[in-house]
Amino acid sequence: MKTILVLHTGGTIAMSEGKDGAIIPGKQNPLNSFNNPFTGKIRLDIRNPFNLPSPHMRPTEMLALRNEIMQAESEGIDGVVITHGTDTLEETAFFLDLTLPAEIPVVVTGAMRSANEIGSDGLHNFQTAIQTAASDEAHGKGVLVVMNDEIHTARYVTKTHTTNVATFRTPSFGPVGSVSKERVTFFSKLIRQTYVPLDHVVDNVYLLKAFAGMGPELFETLALQKTNGLVIEALGAGNLPPATLPGLQKLLDQHIPVVIVSRCFNGTAESVYDYEGGGIRLEKMGAIFCHGLNGQKARIKLLVGLSAQMSAKELASFVNDAVS
């Protein structure tokens, strides 16, 4: 019999709709009374480290989850399921993907509808996440996100709709597997995975989104001694309005790492344009291009690299690498 560690952290999956229609956290997580449909096949070790709406999640909580999983793995746990609010689910999942060795299955899930709403998806997502975590085929595939009967990698999945139960998608690539009533099926996997051990996390790593007519003011505001890093969701393939460049230069002069991704939903940021503010010139200034990740994922990757005290050269290689 396999033992799956369940870590409930809060979110919509742990909330209920009140009489006025507002969705609120309760004192007790409704999933704690979950009737295990796998009795005799899978034992559940259920713990409640947090009961937080996902906008309340911080890297410090993510690190606490990582440490609890590492301890449980050393004690012989067979897999892990984490229930989480959907707003920041992809960030927690990616943080764990970078900081856990890719051995036992770790599956993150949540819900778009609270426990007592019509059509609530929480119990079903929880059940399919347990199935996936107990699957032999899930070993060595990194942290996975299971929602709406689909299996996605933590690296590329993102929330695409504010309320739809099919909100979690993997742009460009699609899911890596699916879950049916009887089986878990994988049909692709990541080429390579990265493991970065951490014992702490830094703060003051920021994320900005570029826009037409953007000036240097926001960059100048962040050119402070306490700023550890910045990710910019740049225009198109990775370009900025020319008026931003003096502010960007101030950050780079202070040796603050600046990472460029695209604000586009699909595609990869790359230095292809050679004009003022174009990607080629941004790279020559010292900005780091991050290939294939969205802004929030790139921020997590930069934060992990900085927390691991990587050198400037190591950090650039780590953030730039498209397949780790």
Distance CA 117, CA 123 (A): 12
Distances (CA, A) of 201 to 36, 95, 196, 261, 309: 36, 11, 12, 22, 10
Please provide residue 201's backbone torsions phi and psi, each rounded to the nearest 5 degrees. Answer: -130, 140
Tell me the catalytic residues: 12
Angle of CA points 225, 261, 102, to nearest 5°: 90
Upper half-sphere CA count for residue 60 (Cβ side, 13 Å)? 4
Q: Residue 218 forms beta bridges with which residues?
A: none
Within 10 Å of residue 39's Cβ, how many Cβ atoms? 10
> What is the gyration radius of the CA atoms in the chain, in angstroms?
20
H or E stretch at 246: helix 245-253
Distances (CA, A) of 91 to 24, 158, 182, 279, 304: 22, 9, 30, 26, 12
